[in-house]
Amino acid sequence: MSEQKAIRNAMTVDVEDYFQVSAFAPYIARGDWEGCECRVERNIERILALFAQHQTKATFFTLGWIAERYPQVVRDIVAAGHELASHGYGHERASDLSPQAFMQDVVRAKKLLEDLGGHEVIGYRAPSFSIGKSNLWAFDTLREAGYQYSSSVYPIQHDHYGMPDSPRFAYPVREGLLEVPVTTLRVMNKNLPSSGGGYFRLLPYSVSRWLIRQVNAQDQQSAVFYFHPWEIDVDQPRVAGIDSKSRFRHYVNIARTHDRIGRLLQDFAWGRMDEIFLGRRTAALATSAVAA
């Protein structure tokens, strides 16, 4: 184990399936989701086994659409002592929704997850990190809906999302609501992505490890890492007709991701978002879940 064990980082999983990613929206109609082969159950099973092997607890930002159709996935996450959090209901970008539609989405997902998981859901992550300068009202909605923290801002410049001028680390974005951005490293007045996703698959593992180590050592801050269940699934159906950029981003190095995450779990200390940033105790939450 490395010297970085003094700082615990937050391990997070965005629970959605391959056909729900935003980049595939022009190719797979939302009305066609029901006819797609859903592989989330087997992938979550593998992720839970990997976390158990490394004695790691994590936060699972879960789509209501998935939870409604695969409730056992939610129960398995909670039973293993992980935090259940919300990814909204239908994987619609917050920036594409009206305030009223966004409220309906986040309230519906929260209630559904709480009913299935047996305890309060306090965390939210917007699909595709879609809270930015144009829809800061979303934070007011989240607070009104009863969430206590959000992890919906990526402080980088990106063609699909990003708010590079926003704070890099956790900050109170509204009274009673904490924003916990995914992690970046500041180098030469630029934020470098350091928190998973496609960058983790594209770059050599040593680069990702270095980036997180720098955040822990240089900034003395906990990193927030994320990945998706489909990123460990080499046998997922290939989506036909997609553009070359989307194809590369989605499929690059998928065969290596499972083992890379295992290495990451060995090289750093990890925990749940609610524990690291809000100081909540797993034991108390687990007890309430069992009682429910």
pLDDT, tens digit, for every residue of 63-103?
Answer: 999 999 999 999 999 999 999 999 999 999 999 999 999 99
CATH T-level fold of 3-291 = TIM Barrel (3.20.20)
Using CA atoms, how far residue 186 sits from 3, 71, 183, 218, 261, in Å, is 21, 40, 10, 10, 23
Report whether 87 contacts 15 (CB < 8 A).
Answer: yes
What is the pLDDT at residue 4?
47
pLDDT, tens digit, for every residue of 236-268?
Answer: 999 999 999 989 989 999 999 999 999 999 999
pLDDT, tens digit, for every residue of 21-59?
Answer: 988 999 999 999 999 999 999 999 999 999 999 999 999
3-state DSSP assignment of residue 194? coil
Task: Please report which confidence band the pLDDT of residue 158 belongs to, taking 50, 70 and 90 as the band edges.
Answer: low
Cα 224 versus chain centre, distance: 9
pLDDT, tens digit, for every residue of 196-216?
Answer: 988 899 999 999 999 999 999
What is the pLDDT at residue 1?
43
| CA–CA dist 114, 36 (Å, integer) | 26
What is the pLDDT at residue 180?
97
Q: What are phi and psi of 191, to 5 degrees?
A: -90, 125
pLDDT above 70 (res 190): yes
Tokens linked to 132: 């930015």
| Mean pLDDT rounded to a whole number for the chain | 91
Beta strand extents in 158-287 (DSSP E only): 171-174, 177-179, 184-187, 190-193, 224-227, 269-271
pLDDT, tens digit, for every residue of 134-145?
Answer: 999 999 999 999
